[in-house]
Amino acid sequence: MEGLNNFDYCIFSADKVINNQSSIYFFNTLTRKKEIFKPLEEGKAKIYTCGPTVYDFAHIGNFRAFLFEDLLKRWLIQRGYKVTHVMNLTDIDDKTIKGSQKEGITLSQFTDFYVKAFFEDIKVLNIEPANFYPKATDQIPEIVTLIKTLMTKGVAYKGEDNSIYFSVSKFPDYGRLSKIKVNELKVGSRVNQDEYAKEDAQDFALWKAWTPEDGDTFWETELGKGRPGWHIECSAMSMKYLGETFDIHCGGVDNMFPHHENEIAQSEAATGKKFVNYWMHNEHLQVEGKKMSKSLGNFYTLRDLLVKGYDPIAIRYLLMTTHYRQQFNFTFESLEASKVAIERLRNFVRRLHEVEGGINTGKVSILSAKLEACFGGSMDDDLNIGVALSSLFDFIREINGLLDANLVSRQEAADVGGLMMRIDSVLGVIGRVEMEEALPGDIDTLVQKRENARKNKSWKEADAIRSQLKSMGIVLEDTAQGVRWHKKKA
């Protein structure tokens, strides 16, 4: 039938679903291959994602990672998995201590502010909350126990500065994730900072002995007076909530080394078991083709964009819809395009509600089955969101054609509406579409009111009415005969 060849690019997935052989594949950084997802426990997925370091507002690069993880989680749930998701909050590290001292307040006063801001941010981006948000400062006993185990096993030692270090040379698998060559390490030399580059790979701090720069941030423990290093926090928290081995660990590619490499070393050296089965990393984000940086003036937190008046759901859509393993170039033009795409989805759903009853030709159910197969098959293929969305917009175009020809029955429209809601439980961008139908009389009144406002040069009021009309799907047109309005098509 005409038009259906639009879906040719995903016939493969239609076959898979028809044969009920749908499986999810993920690109595993550990093996650098796409692998079929086999959870430890059937029907369950245990996920750990590195959370924010709460020393500042999260920026759009951070949110790219959090939105990729949100999509991953929503997709697993859509496919019937019971997901347990843990995201840590790093509230003790070099950066939070520095920040609190600079502001002259306690560490917890300083970090509480940014924790609260983080939760506000994820809410406006419609990110599904994790099951657990452990704070590093609440896990000191677990961290101490883990470090003691590593010392007992002979893979950690106390340096002459009284800090405790992980001995990289004692863990033969070191470098497996990031593919760093161990023999290039400066054996025996040590690094005390939380962040360092590959070329500085060396024994890293698990527990940092107190120094005057730490001020009143320290814990008196069996390991001495001090505080944990950043890397050990994630090992302790993930294993506490998810067990010694769990299914998926995510993060940005910049965390692969040293952070994730060190997490593997600490955890596996302590337990003797494999730490994580699937490692998934999202690529970097650029802004207008350049690395995002404060010095280039192209550094944006979510809040910077909201202040400029951008719609958070458009930001969500934009950050989520480039495949997570592709480098992503954030542009303001693409942010506008995202807004248009969301409006198209919402208008389509609105239009479905308006269907008064056309002829059922059987085409709608065929198209719907193709969309489900194509969208699902693409997402099963390492979250191939680009192809999934192409199939969605092709579907909308086809159905709109049938709607134009009055070839969609009320029941079919309701079924398509249900399908759109299922898809939106993955995308999270359509939401509850306002269905109250404006009567033409009301619109005429508003249009007239706006004309009067314009005559009186009340531009603010005129603009407000125009936005109100726009939200009702009404487009205004200035013609020689005066202003006219029409309903915007999906």
Residues that bind Zn ion (CB under 5 A): 50, 234
Of 90 and 167, nearer to Zn ion (C-beta) is 90
Of 63 and 310, nearer to Zn ion (C-beta) is 63
Q: How far is the CB of 222 from Zn ion (least distance, A)?
A: 24
CA distance 417 to 341: 17
Of 267 and 322, nearer to Zn ion (C-beta) is 267
Q: How far is the CB of 313 from Zn ion (least distance, A)?
A: 28
CA distance 447 to 439: 13
Q: How far is the CB of 127 from Zn ion (least distance, A)?
A: 18
Q: How far is the CB of 21 from Zn ion (least distance, A)?
A: 35
Q: How far is the CB of 28 from Zn ion (least distance, A)?
A: 18
Q: How far is the CB of 179 from Zn ion (least distance, A)?
A: 19
Q: Which residues contact 140 (CB under 8 A, 6 or more apart)?
A: 219, 221, 228
Of 50 and 385, nearer to Zn ion (C-beta) is 50
Three-state SS string over the chain comes to CCCHHHHHHHHHHHHHHHCCCCCCEEEECCCCEEEECCCCCCCEEEEEECCCECCCCCEHHHHHHHHHHHHHHHHHHHCCCEEEEEECEECCCHHHHHHHHHHCCCHHHHHHHHHHHHHHHHHHCCCCCCCECCEHHHCHHHHHHHHHHHHHCCCEEECCCCCEEECHHHCCCCCCCCCCCHHHCCCCCEECCCCCCHHHCCEEEEEEECCHHHCCCCEEECCEEEEECHHHHHHHHHHHHHCCCEEEEEEEHHHHHHHHHHHHHHHHHHHCCCCEEEEEEECCEEECCEECCCCCCCCCEHHHHHHCCCCHHHHHHHHHCCCCCCCEEECHHHHHHHHHHHHHHHHHHHHHHHCCCCCCCCHHHHHHHHHHHHHHHHHHECCCHHHHHHHHHHHHHHHHHHHHCCCCCHHHHHHHHHHHHHHHHHHCCCCCCCCCCCCHHHHHHHHHHHHHHHHCCCHHHHHHHHHHHHHCCEEEEEECCEEEEEECCC
Of 263 and 412, nearer to Zn ion (C-beta) is 263
Q: How far is the CB of 115 from Zn ion (least distance, A)?
A: 16
Of 50 and 399, nearer to Zn ion (C-beta) is 50
CA distance 185 to 169: 9
Q: How far is the CB of 51 from Zn ion (least distance, A)?
A: 7
Q: How far is the CB of 50 from Zn ion (least distance, A)?
A: 3
Respond yes or no on whether the N-terminal peptide bond of residue 258 is cis (omega within 30° of 0). yes
Of 185 and 234, nearer to Zn ion (C-beta) is 234
Of 264 and 446, nearer to Zn ion (C-beta) is 264
Q: How far is the CB of 426 from Zn ion (least distance, A)?
A: 26
Of 50 and 58, nearer to Zn ion (C-beta) is 50
Of 227 and 346, nearer to Zn ion (C-beta) is 227
* Cα separation values, 433 from 344, 417, 476, Å: 12, 11, 21
Of 13 and 88, nearer to Zn ion (C-beta) is 88
Of 276 and 403, nearer to Zn ion (C-beta) is 276
Q: How far is the CB of 184 from Zn ion (least distance, A)?
A: 24
Nearest-10 crossing angle of helices 459-471, 440-455:
160
Q: How far is the CB of 259 from Zn ion (least distance, A)?
A: 5
What is the CA 96 to chain-centroid distance, rounded?
23
